[in-house]
Copies of this chain bind each other. A is one copy, B any other.
Amino acid sequence: MSTATPAYEQLASTWTRLHNLEHLQAIAGWDHAANMPPKGNEARAAALAEMAALLHRMRTDPNLGHGLQCAEQEPLSEEQRANLREMQRQWQAATALPESLVQRQQIVTSRCEHAWRQQRPANDWAGFAPQLKEVLALAREEAQLLADKSGLRPYDALMDRFEPGMRCTQVDQVFGDVRRWLPGLIQQVIAKQAQEDVILPVGPFAIEKQRALCEQVIRLLGFDFEAGRLDVSTHPFCGGVPEDVRLTTRFRDDEFITSLMGTIHETGHGRYEQNLPREWLGQPMAQARSMALHESQSLSFEMQLGSHPGFVARLAPMVTATFGAQPAFTPQNLHRLITRVKPGFIRVDADEVTYPAHVILRYEIEKALIEGEVEVDDIPALWDAKMMELLGVDTRGNFKDGAMQDVHWPSGLFGYFPCYSLGAMYAAQWFATMRRQMPDLDARIGAGDLAPVFDWLRDNIWTQASRWTTDELARRASGEPLNAAHFKAHLETRYLG
Contacts and interface: CB of A to CB of B under 8 A. Distances in A.
A23 B47 contact: yes
Contacts of A226: 37-39
A258 interface: no
Interface in A8-54: 17, 20-21, 23-25, 27-28, 31, 35-40, 42-44, 46-51, 54
A21 B51 contact: yes
B43 A243 contact: yes
Contacts of A20: 46-47, 49-51
A229 interface: yes
Q: Secondary structure of the A side of the interface?
A: helix
B35 A24 contact: no
B24 A227 contact: no
Contact of A50 (B21, B39, B42, B48): B21
A225 B27 contact: no
Nearest to A281: B43
A141 interface: no
A21 B47 contact: yes
Given A21-B51, A28-B27, A50-B17, A241 B37 contact: no
A56 to B, nearest CB: 14
A48 B243 CA distance: 14
Given A44-B244, A244-B43, A24 B51 contact: yes
Contacts of A401: none
A228 interface: yes
Interface string A220-261: 000011111100000000000111100000000000000000
Contacts of A48: 24
Contacts of A228: 37
Number of copies: 2
Nearest to A25: B24
Interface string A414-439: 00000000000000000000000000
Nearest to A35: B229
A219 to B, nearest CB: 13
Interface string A42-70: 11101111110010000000000000000
Contacts of A43: 23, 241-244, 281
Contacts of A27: 27-28, 31, 44
A23 B41 CA distance: 12
Contacts of A241: 40, 43
Contacts of A42: 243
Interface in A76-95: none
Contact of A36 (B21, B38, B242, B244): B244
A286 to B, nearest CB: 12
A6 B54 CA distance: 23
Contacts of A281: 43
Given A28-B28, A31-B27, A243-B42, A229 B47 contact: no
A217 B274 CA distance: 40
Contacts of A243: 39-40, 42-44
B37 A225 contact: yes
Interface string A475-491: 00000000000000000
A21 to B, nearest CB: 6
A244 B24 contact: no
Interface in A173-200: none
Contacts of A28: 23-24, 27-28
Contacts of A227: 37-40
Interface string A198-225: 0000000000000000000000000011
Contacts of A39: 224, 226-227, 243-244
Contacts of A31: 27, 31
A226 B227 CA distance: 30
A273 B39 CA distance: 14
A15 to B, nearest CB: 12
B37 A24 contact: no
12 contacts: A17-B50, A20-B47, A20-B49, A21-B47, A21-B51, A24-B24, A31-B31, A37-B225, A40-B241, A43-B241, A43-B242, A43-B281
Given A20-B47, A23-B46, A31-B31, 8 more contacts: A20-B51, A21-B54, A23-B28, A24-B47, A24-B51, A27-B44, A42-B243, A43-B244
List 9 A-B pairs, minimum CB-CB distance, nearest first.
A40-B244, A20-B50, A43-B243, A23-B47, A39-B227, A24-B24, A20-B47, A39-B226, A24-B28
